[in-house]
Structures are given as C-alpha cells and as structure tokens.
C-alpha cells in the first residue's frame, strides 16, 4: 500500500479506513448521499482535494458484506475486491469522480487500473 500511496502523491498523508457491515453502510449511504440501501464503498474527504498540503486525506468506508458478494460474483478473492474498493475510495478522496460524466469516469477507470497494476507488482 505504501507504493500505491507514493504513486498517488500521498505517501506522507493520513487515511482512515473503516470496514463495516451492510446495515451500517446503508445508514451512511442514506445520511450522506440520500440513497437507500448499502453500497460497496464510500469516501469522505477531509478538505479540498486541490489543497496543496492537506495531511489528512479523509475516510474510506467499505462494506465487507457487499465486498464478499462482489468477490463471489466477479470471481475475485475477498482481498482483491477490498483492494479494488480501497483504491476506488482513495481516488475519490483525491478528487476523481466517475459520476460527473463519461470523460471523468474514463479518467477514473484508467487511474484505478494503473494503481491496481502497481498493487499486483507487490
């Protein structure tokens, strides 16, 4: 993970990761996104991603229940799925957003693939 954080330019920054269940994730999803039901990952940035020197990146929350279902359906190990979700959440903390349009979605997808490849090299 250190290699990934360094590649993303955040080797000296702080990140909080919470692993939770679908029930808790559904409450967070409703409260902060106004969407019902659980989701696989949520990211809560601490400050502006364009800020030159924020030490605290924010929080990434992963539902292990949803991650387990995704792993089974995609033929991945739970570790692979959690790694992918963690990278996805990290990219959101860095300002990437796949929900703002096709160009942004492609940019995020490409960066996610690049970072996942770095993780496979470890």
pTM of the predicted structure, to 2 decimals: 0.82
Give me the CATH number covering residue 11.
Answer: 3.40.390.30
Phi, psi for 56 (deg, rounded to 5): -95, 115
pLDDT given for residue 6 in this prediction = 75
Instruction: Identify the domain containing residue 29 by its residue range.
Output: 2-121
What's the pLDDT at 51? 61
Q: Quick one: pLDDT at residue 24?
A: 98
What is the reported pLDDT for 47? 67
pLDDT exceeds cutoff 60 at 78: yes
Q: What are phi and psi of 36, to 5 degrees?
A: -85, 150
Length of the chain: 122
Predicted confidence (pLDDT) at residue 53 exceeds the cutoff of 60: no
Q: Is 52 left (phi over 0), alpha (psi -120 to 50) or beta?
A: alpha
Asked if residue 51 lies in contact with residue 96, where contact means CB atoms within 8 angstroms, the answer is no
Structural domains of the chain, count: 1
| pLDDT tier for residue 54 given thresholds of 50, 70 and 90 | low
- Token pair in block for residue 101: 């349009």
For residue 21, what pLDDT band results from cuts at 50, 70 and 90? very high
**Structure-model confidence comparison of residues 61 and 6, the more confident one:** 61
């Amino acid at each position: 993970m250190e290699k990934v954080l360094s590649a993303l330019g955040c080797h000296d920054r702080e990140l909080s990761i919470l692993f939770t269940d679908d029930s808790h994730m559904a409450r967070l999803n409703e409260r902060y996104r106004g969407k019902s039901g659980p989701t696989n990952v949520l990211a809560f940035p601490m400050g502006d991603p364009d800020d030159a020197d924020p030490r605290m990146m924010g929080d990434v929350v992963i539902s292990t229940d949803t991650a387990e279902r995704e792993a089974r359906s995609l033929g991945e190990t739970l570790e692979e799925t959690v790694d992918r979700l963690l990278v996805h959440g990290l990219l959101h903390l860095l300002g990437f957003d796949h929900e703002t349009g096709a160009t942004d979605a492609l940019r995020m997808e490409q960066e996610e693939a690049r970072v996942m490849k770095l993780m496979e090299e470890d």
